[in-house]
Structure 1
Amino acid sequence: MISEQEYVITSFRKHFQRFQDKGIVVYGLGKNTEVLLDALRDEYHFIGLMDGVRTGETVYGLPVLTVDEAQERGVGVILILARAANLSIIYPRIAADCERYGIPVYDINGVEQHRITQKTYACPVFYATHTREALIEKMRAADVVSFDVFDTLLMRRCLEPTDVFFLVEQEAHRRGLLSQSVPFAKPRILAERALYPGQPTLDDIYARLMQDTGIAEDVAKELRALGLAEEERQLVPRTAMMRLLHEAQAMGKTVIVTSDMYLGGQAIGRLLLMHGITGLDHVFVSSDTGVSKTGGLFDLVRQTYLGQHILHIGDNATSDVHAALSSGSDAWLVPSARQMLAESACAPLTEHSRDLPERVILGNFLTRELHDPFLFQKTQGRLRLADAYALGRDYAGPMVAGFVQWLIERCRADGIEMLLLGARDGWLIREILDDAARTMDLPFRYRYVYVSRAAFISQKTTSGQWKMERARSTISAATSPSSCAAAQRSARTICTTWRAKASAPGRSLASLTSSRPARASFGSKKSSASPCRATTSCASKNRTRKISPSRHTTRARKSSTRQQNATSPSAKTACTSCPRRGAAKKSATSSLSSKASATPQTTSSKSPIAQNSPTNS
Structure 2
Amino acid sequence: MDAAAAAALLKAIAAADAVSFDFFDTLFYRTVDAPEDVFDIMGRRFDVPNFRAQRKAAQAEAFVRMHKAGRKEISLAGIYECLPLDQALVQALQAAEHALELDIIRPDPVVLGALNYALELGKPVVITSDMYFTEPFFREALSRYGVPAVPLFISSTCDATKRDFGDLFDLVVDYLQVPRAKLLHVGDNPHGDVTQAKAKGLTAFLYRREAPATIPAATRADGGNVPEDPYELGYTFGGPCAVAFLDWMERQAREDGIDHLLFWPAMATSWNASSGKTLALGICRAAAISAVPARRIPWLPSTTIIFPRTCLTCCPGQTGCRLTRCWSV
TM-score, scaled relative to structure 2: 0.66
Structure 1 residues 188 and 165: CA distance shift in structure 2, 3 A = farther
Larger radius of gyration: 1
DSSP-derived class of the 2:126 partner: strand
Structure 1 residues 436 and 135: CA distance shift in structure 2, 3 A = farther
Structure 1 residues 191 and 247: CA distance shift in structure 2, 3 A = same
Structure 1 residues 417 and 202: CA distance shift in structure 2, 3 A = closer
More helix by share: 1
- Supply the distance in 2 between the matched residues of 1:389 and 1:323 (Cα, whole angstroms): 42
Q: Does 1:286 align with 2:160?
A: no
Aligned residue type for 1:310: L
Structure 1 residues 216 and 331: CA distance shift in structure 2, 3 A = same
How far 1:184 sits from its partner (Å)?
4.0
Which stretches in structure 1 are left out of the alignment for 5+ residues?
1-126, 342-367, 371-382, 422-429, 455-473, 483-617
How far 1:323 sits from its partner (Å)?
1.4
Q: Which residue of structure 1 aligns with residue 226 of structure 2?
A: 389
Q: Which residue of structure 1 aligns with residue 134 of structure 2?
A: 264
- Supply the distance in 2 between the matched residues of 1:129 and 1:217 (Cα, whole angstroms): 50
Q: Which residue of structure 1 aligns with residue 45 of structure 2?
A: 171
Q: Which residue of structure 1 aligns with residue 122 of structure 2?
A: 252
- Supply the distance in 2 between the matched residues of 1:168 and 1:476 (Cα, whole angstroms): 35
In 2, are the aligned partners of 1:195 and 1:205 still within 8 Å (CA)? no
Q: Which residue of structure 2 aligns with residue 544 of structure 1?
A: none
- Supply the distance in 1 between the matched residues of 2:50 and 2:240 (Cα, whole angstroms): 29
Structure 1 residues 401 and 435: CA distance shift in structure 2, 3 A = farther
1:318 to 186, 191, 208: 191
DSSP-derived class of the 1:131 partner: helix
In 2, are the aligned partners of 1:152 and 1:315 still within 8 Å (CA)? yes
Q: Does 1:236 align with 2:73?
A: no
2:169 to 287, 290, 298: 298
Aligned residue type for 1:270: E
Q: Which residue of structure 1 aligns with residue 24 of structure 2?
A: 150
In 1, are the aligned partners of 2:262 and 2:270 still within 8 Å (CA)? no
Q: Does 1:334 align with 2:171?
A: no
Q: Which residue of structure 1 aligns with residue 145 of structure 2?
A: 275
- Supply the distance in 2 between the matched residues of 1:267 and 1:155 (Cα, whole angstroms): 15
- Map 1:369-518 onto structure 2 (within 5 A): 369=213, 387=224, 389=226, 402-403=244-245, 405-407=247-249, 410=252, 413=256, 415=258, 433=267, 440-441=278-279, 448=286, 453=296
How far 1:240 sits from its partner (Å)?
2.6
Q: Which residue of structure 2 aligns with residue 189 of structure 1?
A: 59
How far 1:261 sits from its partner (Å)?
0.9
- Map 1:574-613 onto structure 2 (within 5 A): none
Structure 1 residues 447 and 406: CA distance shift in structure 2, 3 A = farther
Residue-by-residue CA offset, 1:349-379 (whole Å, 9 max, x unaligned):
xxxxxxxxxxxxxxxxxxx549xxxxxxxxx
In 1, are the aligned partners of 2:131 and 2:154 still within 8 Å (CA)? yes
**Higher RCO (CA < 8 A, seq sep 6+):** 2
- Supply the distance in 2 between the matched residues of 1:405 and 1:218 (Cα, whole angstroms): 27
- Supply the distance in 2 between the matched residues of 1:453 and 1:167 (Cα, whole angstroms): 32
- Map 1:19-58 onto structure 2 (within 5 A): none
How far 1:128 sits from its partner (Å)?
5.9
How far 1:223 sits from its partner (Å)?
2.6
How far 1:138 sits from its partner (Å)?
1.4
Aligned residue type for 1:313: V
RMSD (CA atoms): 4.2
Structure 1 residues 248 and 478: CA distance shift in structure 2, 3 A = same
- Supply the distance in 1 between the matched residues of 2:87 and 2:73 (Cα, whole angstroms): 22
Structure 1 residues 188 and 325: CA distance shift in structure 2, 3 A = same
In 2, are the aligned partners of 1:260 and 1:292 still within 8 Å (CA)? yes
Residue-by-residue CA offset, 1:251-284 (whole Å, 9 max, x unaligned):
221111000011222332222221111231x111
Structure 1 residues 452 and 289: CA distance shift in structure 2, 3 A = closer
How far 1:403 sits from its partner (Å)?
4.5
DSSP-derived class of the 1:389 partner: coil
Q: Does 1:199 align with 2:199?
A: no
TM-score, scaled relative to structure 1: 0.38
Q: Does 1:131 align with 2:5?
A: yes
- Supply the distance in 2 between the matched residues of 1:285 and 1:319 (Cα, whole angstroms): 13
Residue-by-residue CA offset, 1:26-72 (whole Å, 9 max, x unaligned):
xxxxxxxxxxxxxxxxxxxxxxxxxxxxxxxxxxxxxxxxxxxxxxx
- Supply the distance in 2 between the matched residues of 1:141 and 1:418 (Cα, whole angstroms): 61
- Supply the distance in 2 between the matched residues of 1:407 and 1:218 (Cα, whole angstroms): 31
DSSP-derived class of the 2:226 partner: helix
